[in-house]
Amino acid sequence: MEDENLQVNLLKECLRKQLDEFHMLLSIFCNPGELHVDDYSFVDNINSYIEGETARLNAKLDYQLNLPLLEGEKVQIRIELPHFYPGIEIPIFVVRSACFPRDQERMITERIERFIEREVLDPSEAYVYQVISWIQDNFEELIRFEENVKPSDHEHNGSNKSDDSATFERLWIYSHHLKSKTKRQTILKTAKDLELTGFSRPGKPAIICVEGHQKDTQEFWRTIRPLKWQKIQVRLAETEMVDTPISFDDNRRFVGFREELLTELSNENEEEVPMSMSLFMKFLDRHDSGYIRKELFGFEQVDGVL
């Protein structure tokens, strides 16, 4: 019990520091559109948890900065704060711009992580603003650095990159549950940004299928895996080498990417309603994927409702 109380107190202290820094950032980046929060109710939820008004944290605090770091182009800096930041966990930074590809985004993220590891002297205190200031001060050099190292990386991994660009992959992902609106929005946005097809079934259990270029399906997995899950795993990865864009698209079984609730009952919180296994099996059969029931659930046929 004492250990549990210590952990709760540590968590509340981390959350207080997160909110203090967040409000400081609001005062600094106060121009319209500079600091964007998808859902302010998460801030209220964290406040309520700190004050003891609720025992449940609905989501992590995350927000986005839109800064004019390039001429005529705003750069997005997405920040997601794990519950035990600062102190135990480090924040996740994703820097995006139409001016550079996703491979370069990953490299910039890796360099930010190295900066945190080497330059943040006191990780027990909030340091998101320190990282943002560093990005602002060094952005042109940061891009030049990534452009300079990119060719050597391609030379080192040349054959793999070539293979990835011609490899179709379909990932079947299973999770204990998916209810968080933030996770659901992240899944939908990431899949669409990467031009993946497939579906996400929120609720309990949660099933996600994405298909497309292997480099993009793996990027999707890298993006959603660090989110807070009770349990999540890739149950099956299907890959196939393709020769032309036409044959590549012929491998797709889905059109676009969307949520599929697959329930027989109508409810205000539909993701709370158990999935109809009968509807799910029919859905899989329509998309030539009935075989996956064994990989997901360990059986070939099933009747009734899960």
Is 2-156 assigned to CATH 3.40.50.1000?
Answer: no
Query: Pairing relation of β-strands 73-81 and 197-201?
Result: unpaired
The gap from C-alpha 280 to its chain's centroid, in whole angstroms, comes to 25
The gap from C-alpha 86 to its chain's centroid, in whole angstroms, comes to 20
For 96-142, give the DSSP string.
E-TTS-HHHHHHHHHHHHHHHHHH-S-TTS--HHHHHHHHHHHHHHH
Query: CA torsion 242→247→249→252, rounded to 10°?
Result: -80
pTM of the model: 0.51
Give me the residue label for tokens 């259990």.
Answer: 205
Residue type, 156: H
Residue 110 is encoded by which pair of tokens? Answer: 């890796």
> What tens digit of pLDDT does each residue of 114-163 get?
888 888 888 899 999 999 999 998 888 777 754 444 443 433 343 343 44
b/e code 131-167 from CB counts within 10 Å (16+ = b): bbebbeeebeebbeebeeeeeeeeeeeeeeeeebeeb
> What tens digit of pLDDT does each residue of 251-303 get?
899 988 998 887 765 554 555 556 778 888 888 999 999 888 888 876 554 43
Q: Provide the pLDDT for residue 12.
A: 92
Q: Where does CATH 3.30.70.100 sit in the chain?
A: 165-297
How far apart (Å, rounded) are the C-alpha atoms in residues 213 and 221?
13
Q: Where does CATH 3.10.110.10 sit in the chain?
A: 2-156
Residue 74 is encoded by which pair of tokens? Answer: 């705003």
Q: Which CATH number fits domain 165-297: 3.30.70.100, 3.40.50.300, 3.10.20.30, 3.10.129.10?
A: 3.30.70.100
Let me know if 115 is exposed, middle or buried by CB neighbors in 10 A (0-12, 13-18, 19+). middle
